[in-house]
Chain A
Amino acid sequence: MKTSSVYIKKNVLNNDLITIVNDNGYFVESNSRWSVLLGYSKKELLSTPYLTFVHHEDRSKAKRAIENRLQTPNSKPFIVRLISKMGDIIWLESIIAKIGYEEGFLLIAKDITQKKIEKTSVEADLIALKLKSRKLEDLFDLSQDLITIANSEGYFTKLNPQWSKTLGYTEIELMDKPYLTFVHPDDQQSTVAEAAKQLNGITIFNFRNRYLTKTGEIVWLDWNATAVDYTGEVFAIARDITKVIRQEQKIEATLQELIAKNKQLEDYAYITSHNLRSPVANIFMLTKFLEETTLTEEQRNYTDMIKDSAEVLNKTMKDLINVVQINESTDIIIQNISLQEMCTEVKRQLSVKIMETQAKIITNFEVEEISYSIVYLRSIFLNLISNALKYCSSERNPVIHISSEKINNRIQLIFKDNGLGIDLKKYGEKVFGFRKTFHKNVSAKGLGLFIIKSQIEALKGTIAIDSELDKGTKFTINIVL
């Protein structure tokens, strides 16, 4: 028996598949593993050319591999698929060697089917994983948030590109020094304290600190961080809120400025009125003294006019102070007030004017009692009724309708007259303006509507006007409940 055949037989229990293939491509001898694996009997194996067992797709590959290796001895294995009797694919990794003095060659193959299957499934898993991490990576790379992993030594170990974009340092620069280096000096202490909490297993929500960019600009960051495990590695996400902070700061500054300005204006109004009132008071008294002296008629006329002027000046200043006081609405007292009683009170106050003009005031209060500032309500009634009397038509007696009605969560108070009316196209929103007068009437000071509008708005209500020249004017007041 030939040496090789002995060798093959001796290795019956070998897991490798060993065979001798002759020049015609037939098995001359083969160990039992072949039968076990392929399911063919030894007789069947020996009566069939080797290539027949090879998967048809791999036949030319196998043929080429064998020819190559026979011409240029090469121990490198080649992999081809064989088909078992049952039709299963068997992956074989084979080496061949010429046996010097014998015909044919020795073929030793290893069954790698199991490995192949495993590898295929691992590959599939890997691809899936890659795809997943690709998405994560995209998320990481494209995120507008600053995402990082930092180690317990206080260094960044991973940074998304947003970091460089925001701080102007390269990723390497950022990882080169402890991250505290990049934190605003005033925030370093609080940052260290927060990081320490982290090691105690506390997840940080909404910690805020400032970083400095390469050019020294402040970047405000809002943090969410979680310590991953006992190693102290931290996953953290920060959001750049610099713009928001800047806006907040701007608003705060503007607010402070406005408060200061407002205060200044208030003081200004008081000081002005005080400083003006002193001489006005003097003028009053001096004209009074003057009247007591012997005066010609002309002089007396002048005295009267001086007195009238001083009076108008005095009244205007009082109004001005009233305007200022509306804004200091701290001492507004809200109480239940009867609209009917209020109307009667104001009518009494204006009785002379009502008689003179033969005015008729018709009320229809569906809502009789309201919670309001009595001072403001009196001011509303007084101003709107006296306006209606003041600007009545000379062609008809004034008729003033006053009504109240509840609409949803508000009370509507309406004052409607049949007076001269205002050209709203011409004056529009100026009606409620400061010191606006629309009639050539000496007593018009233009403060009444301005004052009541301020008062109504101070209590979150609204006032609107509707008017038609020579037909009348309607004021609609909405009082929020």
Chain B
Amino acid sequence: MIKGNHILCLIDDDDIHQFIIKKIVNKLSSNQKLLVFSNGEEGINFIRSTIGKIEKLPDLILLDINMPVMDGWEFLEEFITITPEIKKEIIIYILSSSENPKDKERAKKFELVSGYIIKPINENQLESLLESV
């Protein structure tokens, strides 16, 4: 059972997928904190504005690749530039429906990306991810 004392963050523009993740998270633990952003820019803006408040920063980010305004790759580039200022270890997983090997290769090039999960993610996967934090 998830204690729910970690903060999970989803960056994905797909409303339905947002709903699904919310639903799964709720099933796992009713008090699990979840931050949802609809694109990379919203996500990075939040992190920037929260840099000093470690307790409010996410522990785990699930990042989609294809998004409007700022996509997953651009988010990662931005994230790297502010990493030294973040005094918290944030785990990032790519959560995408793209099976394009080029995307998988590209994700590998980012050291801060811990893994590549292909949608849909199920309850068990998400549970073990949260437990690993």
Which chain A residues have a beta carbon within 8 Å of chain B's beta carbons? 270, 273-274, 277-282, 284-286, 289, 318, 321, 325
Which residues from B are CB-within-8-Å of A289? 20, 23
Complex: A304 Cα to B120 Cα, angstroms:
18
CB contact list, B47-90 vs A, under 8 A? 66
Q: Determine the residue in chain A with the shortest Cβ distance to B17.
A: A282
Given contacts A282-B16, A285-B120, A286-B16, contact A277 B23 (CB under 8 A): no
Complex: A277 Cα to B99 Cα, angstroms:
9
Complex: A278 Cα to B14 Cα, angstroms:
9
Q: Determine the residue in chain A with the shortest Cβ distance to B119.
A: A281
Q: Determine the residue in chain B with the shortest Cβ distance to A270.
A: B100
- Please determine whether A274 and B16 come into contact, CB atoms closer than 8 angstroms: no
Which of B20, B96, B97 is the one whose CB lies under 8 Å from A286? Answer: B20
Complex: A87 Cα to B24 Cα, angstroms:
135
- Please determine whether B120 and A284 come into contact, CB atoms closer than 8 angstroms: yes
- Please determine whether B97 and A278 come into contact, CB atoms closer than 8 angstroms: yes
Known: A274-B97, A281-B17. 19 other contacts (CB 8 A): A274-B66, A274-B100, A277-B98, A277-B99, A278-B119, A281-B97, A281-B119, A282-B14, A282-B17, A282-B120, A285-B23, A285-B24, A285-B120, A286-B16, A289-B20, A289-B23, A318-B99, A321-B99, A321-B100
Q: Determine the residue in chain B with the shortest Cβ distance to A274.
A: B98
Q: Determine the residue in chain B with the shortest Cβ distance to A318.
A: B99
Which residues from A are CB-within-8-Å of B24? 285
Would you list the 6 A-B pairs with minimal beta carbon distance, nearest first?
Answer: A281-B120, A281-B119, A277-B97, A278-B97, A274-B98, A270-B100
- B-side interface size class: 10 to 19
Shortest Cβ distance from residue B113 to the other chain A in the assembled complex, whole angstroms: 18
Complex: A252 Cα to B16 Cα, angstroms:
47
Binary A-proximity of B109-128 (CB < 8 A = 1, otherwise 0): 00000000001101000000
- Please determine whether B17 and A325 come into contact, CB atoms closer than 8 angstroms: no
Complex: A284 Cα to B119 Cα, angstroms:
10
Complex: A282 Cα to B18 Cα, angstroms:
10
Complex: A270 Cα to B99 Cα, angstroms:
8
- Please determine whether A270 and B98 come into contact, CB atoms closer than 8 angstroms: yes
Which residues from A are CB-within-8-Å of B20? 282, 285-286, 289
CB contact list, B1-60 vs A, under 8 A? 14, 16-17, 20, 23-24
Complex: A274 Cα to B99 Cα, angstroms:
7
Complex: A289 Cα to B23 Cα, angstroms:
9
- Please determine whether B17 and A278 come into contact, CB atoms closer than 8 angstroms: yes
Complex: A127 Cα to B99 Cα, angstroms:
85
CB pairs A–B below 8 angstroms (22 shown): A270-B100, A270-B102, A274-B98, A274-B100, A277-B97, A277-B99, A277-B119, A278-B14, A278-B17, A278-B97, A279-B16, A281-B97, A281-B120, A282-B17, A282-B20, A285-B20, A285-B24, A285-B120, A285-B122, A286-B16, A286-B20, A321-B100
- Please determine whether B119 and A325 come into contact, CB atoms closer than 8 angstroms: no
Which residues from B are CB-within-8-Å of A281? 17, 97, 119-120
Complex: A285 Cα to B100 Cα, angstroms:
22
- Please determine whether B99 and A273 come into contact, CB atoms closer than 8 angstroms: yes
Shortest Cβ distance from residue B114 to the other chain A in the assembled complex, whole angstroms: 21
Which residues from A are CB-within-8-Å of B99? 273-274, 277, 318, 321
Complex: A274 Cα to B17 Cα, angstroms:
14
Which residues from B are CB-within-8-Å of A325? 101
Complex: A23 Cα to B102 Cα, angstroms:
123
Which residues from A are CB-within-8-Å of B122? 285
Complex: A282 Cα to B120 Cα, angstroms:
7
Shortest Cβ distance from residue B18 to the other chain A in the assembled complex, whole angstroms: 10
Q: Determine the residue in chain B with the shortest Cβ distance to A324.
A: B100
Which residues from B are CB-within-8-Å of A285? 20, 23-24, 120, 122
Complex: A264 Cα to B76 Cα, angstroms:
27
Which residues from B are CB-within-8-Å of A279? 16
Shortest Cβ distance from residue B24 to the other chain A in the assembled complex, whole angstroms: 8
Complex: A270 Cα to B105 Cα, angstroms:
14
Complex: A285 Cα to B121 Cα, angstroms:
9
